[in-house]
Structures are given as structure tokens and as C-alpha cells.
Chains A and B, each alone.
Chain A
Amino acid sequence: MSNAAVRKIKPSTASLNRFGPGTQAVFHCVLGLFALLCIVPFIFVIIISFTSEESIRQIGYSFRPLSWSVQAYTYTFQLGDQLWRSYFNSFLITVVGTFLSVLICFLYAYPLFRRDYGHRQFFNFLSFFTMIFGGGLVPTFVICKSVLGLSDNYAALIVPMLFSPFNVIIMRTFFQTSVPMELIEASTIDGSGEYGTLFRIVFPIVTPGIATIALLVSLGYWNEWFLSLLYVNKNMDIIPLQYLLMRMQRNADFLAKNSSMLGADAAKAAAQMPSQTLKMALVVFIVVPIACAYPFFQRYVVAGLTVGSVKG
């Protein structure tokens, strides 16, 4: 292809991809509005966390509170042990859980993609089946608690979420679209063993896919609180920050729902409740790390989206 030909094609494709200034403006507005919708609630949460209790009592939540205060944060820091331990737990559960879960997903999806693997259909079905038919809460609870002994330990907060058929399917599809069988055959001919092929040839190609799965899984682990509710009864040292926050929220909800029945007890309990600003401060604590982690994953996710589509 000569230089002239390139020059000839370039303007036409460029104009094909370019929108008129009016359309551009509309697109910017729509996307800008969407971005705003995403960011405003979070900004609101931050503002509330810095609002004084007095102001909330008088005018409720507001973007322009009557007075500011860092009381919620000073109180959070006074929560001391429990807060930092829970914060640490959140990180620990997320990191360990994500690593194991991605590893399992990667190792499960790879054979499913290999057409030369005989029991492909069966294992495909085995994982897919659980996507449609779940065991339900009670049997799951019995298996986890009585059979697997997942109770009051970190494993209880990690193991139940280790395997996700949905992620396996994403991963398998990713293998199918980005790893040519010829590559695997070639490496086998060159003397690479199965594990060598998997980790030295295939793994580098599918890192965008792995990053996508890792993002999904880590978000799942980071936001998880229900497992703590189910499996943590006595050992409150292992609960993650999310459960700490959810517990406050659920306590408030329960009291609101049953206040007429509980009467004076509800009023007493409500008086002990942490303040609104404290809850928002905890939300900030929860959101900030994951928001900071996202840009790092994002690079891979965007790469992953495009890797699949530029072929041909």
C-alpha cells in the first residue's frame, strides 16, 4: 500500500467517524448528564458526612447545610478498634477472595475452552446449571455451616462466593475470542507442557479478561455483607466494614418498622443509634478505596473491550 493511497482513504474515514458540532454537543450533554448523575449522590454523601447534626435536625439533608462539622469523622476515629479491624477485614477478604476466585475461574474456564477436552460438555453443564437452579438459602446455609464448617471464620466470608458460573462463562468466551487454538498447538509442538502453555502463553494474552473478572469479583467481595449476617454469630472480630454499616442501617430500619410495637424501648434504642452523619462518613470510608482502585482496572477493561472487536 502506497503513501498516496493512505492519504486518499484517511480523510474519508475520518469524516465518517466525525459528528457535526450539533450532534457532538448533544452527545456531550447526554454523557455529561449521565456522569453527573453518577457523581452527584456521592458528592452529596460527602457533604452530609461533613454536615453538623444540628443542621440535619433543622433542615434535613441539604447541599448547603447551615453549619459544617467534622464530628462524624472524629467519632469514627474514636470507634477505634472495631472500625480499623473491620476495615482491615474488608481488604483482607477482598484481596484473598479475589485472588482465589479469579484463579479458580481461570482454571475452570480454560479446559472448557479447549475443544480437545473430552468432558467439556459435562463441566460446562455442571457450572451453567447452577446459574439457573440455585439451592435456596436454607440448604446453602446447612451445607456451608454444618458440612463445610463455615461459621465464625474468614473462610465463611470467602468460600461461598469463590465460584461464579457467570464469570466462568465470560472467561471462557474471552478465551474463545482471543486465544487461537493454533497458538496452543504451536506451543505444544515447540515442547511446552500444559501448564507452561497455560501460564506462559495463554495467560499474558487474556490479562484483560482476567482484569475484568477481577474487577467484578473484587467489587462483589468488597460490597458483601450478607455472608457476615449469615455466618458470623460470635466472632465479631472478623466482620467487614460493610456489615458494620449495614447493621447500623438495618437496626434503624427495624426500629422504624416496629417502633409502635416496641414503644419506649424503640425510643431508647433509637437514642443510642449512631447519627446520620456517621453513617455517611462510613459510606465515604467504604467508597473511597474502591473508587481509587477502579481507574487501575479500567485500563484493562477498556483494553479488554477493544481487544475482542478489532480482529479481522
Chain B
Amino acid sequence: MKRFLSLLLTLMLVLGLCGFAQAESLPTITIMFHGSNVTDDSAVLEKVNEYIADKVGAKLEVIWGTWGDFDEKAANALTTGDSEVDMVFTCSWSADEFNTYAKNGFFEPLDEYMEKFGADLKAALPEALIQAATVEGPDGEKHIYAVNGFKDTATQNTWDINVTLLTELGYTLDDVRNLGFFGWGEIFAKAKELKGDSFYPFLVEPAVAERMVTNSIIVTGDSGSVNLLSYYLDPADVTKSDAKYGDVLLNKFATEEYAAFVKQMREYYLAGYIDPALAVAETSNDARTNAQKDGSYLIGTQSYAYGYEYSPEVISRGVEVVFEPCTDPYVDTTVSQGAMVAVSSASQHPEESFKFLALLNSDPYLMTLLNYGVEGVHYTLDENGLVVFTDERANYSPWTNGMGNVTLLPDTQAEGAGFREAFKNFYASGKAVPILGFIFNNEPVANEMAALTNVAAQYALALNSGAVDPETELPKFLEALTAAGMDAYLAEANAQLNAFLGK
């Protein structure tokens, strides 16, 4: 009886599996995106699946992660080996997740698939981007672990200048350039005089301002929430390191450049040029966005993307805005790993997944469809063939840059004809910083990093925004950093950098 029963159960299982396999003629592949604002994707997916059925041999489903929940969802899917998620967005700027996941074996190496099915993809992407996605895996060898999105792949920090107000005050852009960060006091004073006490002319993102003034860059693998390391660039030529320091990673807070920066910020803060809300992490972004919305600032900081001045967000400010670059656009490791899609090692359809990614990143029709929606529903074309979004777009707004090769997209009416071409050229001109490709592996000093991050979270923003007096607080801060193991952290980082540079 028992034997009969077990036989029956086995039979049922086998038959069940067969039935299942027959019903699903095409495998389903699922991709998880970041930063989406999508409530209805049915029309788009219907078209996508029609299109990719032959080309990829699979059916696509999308998990539209939002800014707030993506990190958690992706981490869950990868660490639990969820086979229902085949592809995930990944990057290195929010918690260095790309390099960590790749190293820990959560991503499928794509080299083999690239050889077999990647001809079109290779043609569509600059070699440097493929290089940037080639990192160390669990076996200690380098493999391609993601399809890297061709987007704004160079960093350029700019001073965001309200020219309307500047002219009203009797200054020109040249004055702003000539006076420089340390000399803007007089312009701010005039602005304050004109606009009254509740007006704050200097609308900074303190951490960005610090990088702009000291010409330091982010080191990939450094603590994500508060950077601890600086690498100083030569502002005149971003392919070189700063002559004074050379190829070395520094304690961000211990240089004289940093001391001068926070001293000046303190001066501006005390004079009332900086909104106190910017000195509090929880309120800074809201305060900044609000002030930007109606153009109530004189000079701000903006990490720039090509064409940002023509975007509706900037135009709706109602003032003339100029983004004045600090340096040429440069390519560093972080930005070159800014938006990628990797295949999960738990995926049961890695081949189909890769084929899909290759197609998405090389086929303008598919990219446009998935990014801008269905023509006639989410957008229409005007007489010049430019994209005009309809109201339906509100229900389908994926994060454009998070999807892949945005250079395939058609120009929109707001951007103007020729925008994508110019965009592509602009980023092709991005120059590589000397330490491009260097990824600090923080594992050996993970404890120190956690302790240092805590210390830095306590002091850095307040100092950077001028809310506290650097005379008394900076020494305390540096002491606390030393106590938390800054020396060991720096030594490890520099040892790795030297090894990377072959010194």
C-alpha cells in the first residue's frame, strides 16, 4: 500500500511538472528596476512581449522598484536566491552594491554570453563601459558582471547660478568666476540686503560643495553615506592628480584645503547666507528643492547632467540659470558604474536574460518602448519627429537613466532636435581620472569603517554647512577619527591604491 502510494505521488509530481512545462511555452524573465514611478505597464509590456518573443525567446515581467524600496527588495531577491527575479538594476553609488554582490557571487558572469550574443551590444557601448562592469568575482578573476548603461557617464560638478538675480545685483558671471568661492561674500551681502532676512543666497549641498572647492573626488568603496577619503585632482587637467599630494588617498577632513573650506562656510553661515535647514540631513533636500523651485537663491551646487538647463525642472524656476562648471567632465569609477543591470545567479534563464539586455541596450525601438512607453498612448511625435509626452506618461515614468543605453532614445520636444547626439558627444569627451577602475575593497577594515562613519555622520554635515565652529569642532572631529581607527583605514586604502597603480 505504502509503495503504491509513493508511486502515485511521484507520478503526480512528474505529470504535474510536465503539464506545467507545456502550459508555459515561453519562459518568463523578470527584471527589477530602480526609481520607477509606474502604475500601469500593461500596454507597454504587451508590445514588448510581442517584440521580444522571437528575438529573445522569453516573456518579460517587470518589478518597478521605487527609490525608497529598491535597495531592500533587490537585497532580498539576491541574498535569498529568489529565482523569480532574473535581472536587477545595480550600481556602485548608494552602497557599493555592485562590486560587493559581484564579489560574493550573487551575479552571473556574462563573458560567455557576451561572446555568443553580444555583438550588437559591443557595437553600441563604449569599450570603457564594458571595462567598468568587469570586476572581480568570487573566484578572484575578473568577469563581466553587468550590462552597463550608456548614460551621463561623466561627473561634472557645477555652480548653479541664478543669473536673473545676479544681474539685478549688478554683477556678471565673470565676477562670480573671478571672485571664486572664497570671495563671494560681497555678492551674498548685497543679495541679502535686497531680498531681506529670510533669503539665503548660498544654496549648497554641503558635501558636494566640499568636493567642488577642494577638487576632491569620490573613492569607490569608501563609506557610502559619508565619504571619508579624498583624492585630489588637478582642476586644470582632470587626468592628473593634484601636484601637491600626488596619487594618494587622504583623510578628507585633515587637509588644509578642507580646513579653509569649512572656515569659509562658517563665515557664510554666520552671516546668514546659508539656510540652517541645509545643515540638518532630514530637512536639507526638501529645503533645497523648495528654494530651487521658485529660484530663491543666488548660487547653488549642482551635480550636472548634459541638458539639465533645458529640463522642465529648471525652466519652471522662472529665472535664468547658468551651470558654471568647476572642472571638465571626468570619468571616475563611481560614475562609470552609475547604472547597470546584472543577471542574478539564481536566475534559471540567464541566457534569455542576457539576450534581452543586449537587445534593450542596442535596439532603439525596444529602449524607446520600455522607457518612453507606447507611441500614441504615452507619447506622440510632433511634425519634426520629436517626442511629446501625453498625460498617460504620469502612469508610466520609469527612471530613464536607470534602464540602460539612453543614447538610443529619440529627442523630445523639450530637449530639442539633436539633443541625444550632443549628449553622446559630451560624454564621449569625458576624461578618465588617474584612478579610474580603482575599487577600494573595504572588507579588511570594515570595523574601522563602521566606526569612522558613525563619527563622520556626527560632525561632517554640520562642519561642511558651517553650522558649527571649525575652530573648536574640527580638532575634536579629527581626534575622534583617529580614535576610531582612521590611520589603519588610510593605510589599507593607500596600500590597495599603490597595488592598483602598480607601485
Q: Which residues of A contact B (CB under 8 A)?
A: 56-60, 82, 137-138, 141-142, 145-146, 151, 229-230, 233-234, 236, 246-273, 276
Contact = CB atoms under 8 A, between A and B. Distances in A.
Contacts of B39: 82, 236
Shortest Cβ-Cβ A-B pairs, 5 listed: A250-B68, A263-B303, A256-B285, A264-B305, A261-B93
A110 B311 CA distance: 65
A252 B43 CA distance: 28
Given A264-B304, A269-B35, A272-B397, A141 B80 contact: yes
B277 interface: yes
10 contacts: A56-B290, A59-B198, A145-B80, A250-B67, A254-B94, A255-B67, A266-B285, A267-B313, A269-B399, A270-B289
A253 B311 CA distance: 23
Contacts of B71: 254
Contact of A271 (B66, B81, B289): B289
A259 B225 CA distance: 11
Contact of B198 (A58, A151, A258, A262): A58
Contacts of B68: 246-254
B304 to A, nearest CB: 6
B313 A276 contact: no
A247 B399 CA distance: 16
B67 A267 contact: no
B311 A264 contact: yes
A257 B66 contact: no
B454 interface: no
A230 B65 CA distance: 11
Contacts of A261: 93-94, 218, 303, 334
A275 to B, nearest CB: 10
B82 A145 contact: yes
Given A138-B80, A269-B67, A260 B207 contact: yes
Contacts of B190: none
Given A257-B225, A263-B304, A233 B67 contact: no
B302 interface: yes
Contacts of B198: 58-59
Contacts of A138: 76, 79-80
User: Which of A230, A267, A273 lies at the interface centre, i.e. has the most chain B CB atoms within 10 A of its CB?
Assistant: A267
Give chain B's interface residue range (CB within 8 Å of chain A). Answer: 35 or more
A267 B302 contact: yes
Contacts, number: 121
Contact of A250 (B69, B94, B286): B69
A186 B101 CA distance: 65
Given A151-B84, A250-B66, A253-B68, 8 more contacts: A142-B81, A146-B82, A233-B32, A254-B68, A260-B205, A261-B218, A264-B302, A267-B308
Interface string B33-70: 00101010000000000000000000001110011110
A258 B83 CA distance: 29
Given A138-B79, A260-B208, A260-B303, A265 B399 contact: yes
Contacts of A233: 32, 63, 73, 84
A69 B9 CA distance: 66
A259 B205 contact: yes
A256 B67 contact: no
Nearest to A142: B80
Contacts of A266: 285
B294 interface: yes
Contacts of B61: 234
Interface string B425-451: 000000000000000000000000000
Nearest to B94: A258
Nearest to B400: A265
B401 interface: yes
A253 B198 CA distance: 26
User: Which of A236, A248, A271 lies at the interface centre, i.e. has the most chain B CB atoms within 10 A of its CB?
Assistant: A271
A276 B312 CA distance: 21
A271 B285 contact: no
B12 interface: no
Contacts of A247: 66, 68-69
B380 interface: no
A257 B285 CA distance: 8
B303 A264 contact: yes
User: Which of A138, A141, A268, A271 lies at the interface centre, i.e. has the most chain B CB atoms within 10 A of its CB?
Assistant: A268
A51 to B, nearest CB: 13
B56 to A, nearest CB: 19
A259 B305 contact: no
Interface string B298-332: 00001111001001110010000000000000000
B289 A267 contact: yes
B133 to A, nearest CB: 18
Given A256-B285, A260-B208, A265 B305 contact: yes
B154 to A, nearest CB: 11
B282 interface: yes
Contacts of B155: 263
